[in-house]
Amino acid sequence: MLPEPTIDATPTPSPTLDAGQRVGRYLVVRRLGDGSHGVVYEAIHEGLGKRVALKVLHPAAALDPTLRRRFQQEGRAASRVRHPHVVDVSDVGVDGDRVYLVMELLQGEDLATRFAREGRLGVAALVDILLPVVSAVRAAHEAGVLHRDLKPANVVITEGPGGVARPVVVDFGISRMDDAADERLTHARAMLGTPAYMAPEQLAGEGAVDAKADQYALAVMLYEGSTGERPFQAASLLGLLHEVGYGTPRTPRTLCPALPAAFEAVVMRAMHRDAGARFDDLRALGRALLPFAS
């Protein structure tokens, strides 16, 4: 499978934080990995002894007012959405030249890792994972938030109560917030995100990009999880952009004939090139997927 190029990824040097260093009220335990323009650490709140995920913006990125605002918006966007399948953000702050977010510490693997390990999932198993994600993203839309970078790497599968899998949507770093309560989710014109999961209208950067772009990304995840392949692949970023914008993907049943025809129809409708031909909203997509859950 080809790697995922990401638009607007600015390489910056990683901050040097070692175990035992403090950022605000948080004591760094260990580095967990890289996030959007930052590094994520396991840390402990010194007063409460609570273990958290501490996301620190790269120092060079912190000097860019746009990246700094976008990083802080990630915390505001995620905290605005109250849902059990959206990562909980509890704090945002500045300590000297370090800008940071504090989130719940998620133990598990992301969906991209699972796809890479298993190739493709059974329809019921896949829908069981993605139905809660659909619900979470729908809650974000109702709160006036577009995610705009939905992809398997941004869904972490943790263990919930009773050992039941709990998929959690993370990384609202390039989300779009609508501050007017009665205004629709539109006017997100910038071409930001991961091209393999971006809707054609999002790549084109023309006109309003609304909640149906997130629906398209979810459909690509359904396609990939059920077939083991992404709908569009190319050897270069330019080739991928052309395929997403103008190409015609093979139907899922061409790759995996055992898939139910009705499931294929749901995926292809949600991934339709014409946003107006997709489901009206994620509630409708969720209802269409429900019969395929376990």
- Between the alpha carbon of residue 82 and those of residues 54, 196, 256, the distances in Å are 20, 28, 37
Q: What's the number of CA atoms in the CB half-sphere (13 Å) around residue 21?
A: 14
30, amino acid identity: R
Q: Which residue type occupies 244?
A: V
DSSP conformation class of 196: G
CA 167 remoteness from chain centre: 11
- Apex 203 CA angle, 262 and 36, nearest 5: 100
- The H-or-E segment that residue 137 falls in is helix 123-142
Tell me if residue 211 falls in helix, strand or coil: helix
| Beta partners for residue 35, in sequence order | 38
For 159, the 3-state DSSP assignment is strand
Instruction: Find residue 94's DSSP bridge partners.
Output: 99
Q: Read off the tokens for 92.
A: 């945002």
Distance (Å, whole) CA 119 – CA 128? 17
Q: Do the Cβ atoms of 8 and 192 come closer than 8 Å? A: yes
Active-site hit among 149, 171, 178, 210: 149
- Known catalytic membership, residue 149: yes
Active site amino acids: 149
